[in-house]
């Protein structure tokens, strides 16, 4: 029988890979309970587990709670009474109570499709805010550890290959900040073609640019509703113009999404914050 990995080693491995996971911990066990204080279970994004909080129906409920924690990126606690009254289908008669904490242990990954000045500034700010970053570009000199020493990972290659490396990206933030309209369109085609469902999808630029790309991609068969979901302009409306200010507004919007559960509504004039937003 293969040896199970240590739960903390697995957390480190998943953090390095950027794979979503949540850790369930028994905070308090009273009475007769299968789960004891400090027992732990790691729940991966696919629902697989490592460790245990006692087994049975409580553990199944803990897995469901952990998956919700992964989706929301916010910790939860829940108390379970182990008796037939509260869990009539469990057959439990021990009468104990267990309280479980589920907390996310792998931060979201900010995937920057484009490795220019905005991406560089966003990497530095995102790191300060506890986000992991992946910088992608078709040009190796713009997607390397030399160009972005604080990035957690870089990828140099075709846009479709870059997107394929993170698909379906359900727990990622995808932001298109390429060098021009042509690359923007190719990156969006790749995201659509790979059926990515990121927590956030944004593209730098103005509403006029977005409308032009929407028409081009819609004519190619891309779903207009999907196109409408792309955040353009990106970031909170702070009136920024420099690459650093744009990155600040973007990371601030992602922090808002992460902590409050929703992005801010775009406001008129937001697109004027950078000379390249045309």
pLDDT at residue number 265: 60
Residue 1 lies in a domain: no
pLDDT at 263: 62
Pairing verdict, β 49-51 and 200-203: unpaired
- pLDDT tens digits, residue range 182-207? 999 999 999 999 999 999 999 999 99
- Residue 250 inside a domain? The answer is yes
Can you tell me the mean pLDDT for 28-40? 81
Q: What percent of the chain has pLDDT over 70?
A: 87
Q: How far apart are CA 210 and CA 196, in angstroms?
A: 19
Whether 2 is in a domain gets the answer no
User: Do 100 and 115 lie in a common domain?
Assistant: no
Give the end of a domain, one of 88, 104, 120.
104
Nearest to 135 by CA among 153, 158, 109: 153
Q: Which domain holds residue 249?
A: 109-273
Shared domain check, 127 and 31: no
Q: Please determine, for residue 1, whether its predicted confidence score (pLDDT) is greater than 60.
A: no
Same domain membership, residue 259 and residue 222: yes
Specify whether 28 is located in the same domain as 126: no
Question: Are residue 160 and residue 237 in the same domain, yes or no?
Answer: yes
**What's the average model confidence in pLDDT over 37-56?**
91
- pLDDT of residue 18 exceeding 90, the answer is no
Determine the Cα–Cα distance for residues 225 and 130; give it in Å rounded to an integer. 31
Query: Over the stretch 77-129, which tens digit does the pLDDT of each residue have?
Result: 999 887 644 444 544 555 688 899 999 998 899 999 999 999 999 999 999 99
Q: What's the pLDDT at 268?
A: 40
Determine what percent of the chain is predicted with pLDDT higher than 90: 72
Within a domain: 126? yes
Cβ pair 112, 123 in contact under 8 A? yes
Q: How many beta carbons lie within 10 A of that of residue 60, not counting itself?
A: 11
Q: Is there a single domain that holds both residue 63 and residue 186?
A: no
From 104, 135, 161, give the residue that closes a domain: 104
Residues whose CB falls within 8 Å of the CB of residue 269, separated by 6 or more in sequence, listed in order? 237, 239
Residue 212 lies in a domain: yes
How far CA 251 is from CA of 64, 114, 202, 213, 240, in Å, comes to 29, 16, 12, 24, 13
Predicted confidence (pLDDT) at residue 7 exceeds the cutoff of 70: yes
Residues 61 and 130 grouped into a single domain: no
Q: How far apart are CA 73 and CA 254, in angstroms?
A: 12
The answer to whether 22 and 38 have CB atoms below 8 angstroms apart is: no
pLDDT at position 188 is: 98
198-247 per-position pLDDT tens digit: 999 999 999 999 999 999 999 999 999 999 999 999 999 999 889 999 99
pLDDT at residue 240, rounded to an integer? 86
Residue 28 domain flag: yes
124, 209: one domain: yes
Looking at the structure, tell me whether residues 143 and 250 fall in a common domain: yes
In this prediction, residue 35 carries a pLDDT of 67
- Could you give the number of structural domains in the chain? 2
Tell me the mean pLDDT in the region 14-41. 87
Q: Are residues 196 and 143 in the same domain?
A: yes
What CATH number is attached to the domain comprising 121?
Answer: 3.40.50.720
Least confident interval from 93-97, 133-137, 174-178, 241-245:
93-97
Question: Residues 120, 196: one domain?
Answer: yes
Are 220 and 261 in the same domain? yes
Distances (CA, A) of 127 to 49, 85, 207, 247: 28, 48, 29, 12
247 and 125 Cβ atoms separated by less than 8 Å: yes
Res 267 pLDDT > 50: no
> Are 3 and 66 within 8 A, CB to CB?
no
Domain boundary among 82, 104, 126: 104
Question: Is residue 5 over pLDDT 50?
Answer: yes
DSSP 270: G
């Amino acid at each position: 029988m293969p040896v199970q990995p240590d739960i903390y080693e697995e957390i480190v491995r998943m953090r390095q890979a950027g794979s979503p996971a949540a850790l369930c911990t028994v905070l308090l066990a009273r009475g007769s309970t299968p789960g004891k204080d400090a027992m732990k279970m790691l729940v991966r994004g696919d629902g697989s587990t490592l460790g245990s909080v006692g087994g049975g129906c409580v553990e199944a409920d803990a897995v469901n709670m952990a998956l919700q924690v992964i989706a929301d990126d916010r910790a939860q606690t829940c108390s379970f009474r182990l008796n037939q009254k509260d869990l009539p289908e469990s057959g439990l008669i021990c009468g104990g109570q267990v309280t479980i904490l589920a907390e996310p242990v792998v931060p979201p990954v900010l995937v920057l499709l484009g490795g220019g000045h905005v991406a560089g500034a966003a990497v530095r700010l995102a790191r300060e805010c506890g986000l992991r970053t992946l910088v992608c570009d078709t040009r190796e000199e713009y997607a390397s550890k030399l160009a972005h020493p604080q990035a957690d990972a870089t990828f140099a290659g075709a846009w479709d290959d870059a997107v394929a490396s993170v698909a379906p990206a359900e727990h990622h933030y995808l932001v298109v900040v390429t060098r021009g309209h042509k690359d923007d369109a190719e990156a969006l085609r790749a995201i659509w073609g790979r059926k990515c469902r990121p927590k956030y999808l944004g593209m730098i630029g103005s509403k006029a640019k977005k409308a032009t790309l929407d028409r081009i991609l819609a004519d190619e068969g891309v779903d207009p509703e999907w196109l409408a979901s792309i955040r353009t302009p990106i970031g909170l409306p702070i009136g920024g113009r420099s690459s650093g200010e744009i990155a600040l507004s973007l990371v601030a919007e992602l922090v808002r999404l992460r902590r409050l559960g929703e992005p801010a509504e775009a406001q008129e004039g937001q697109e004027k914050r950078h000379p390249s937003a045309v």
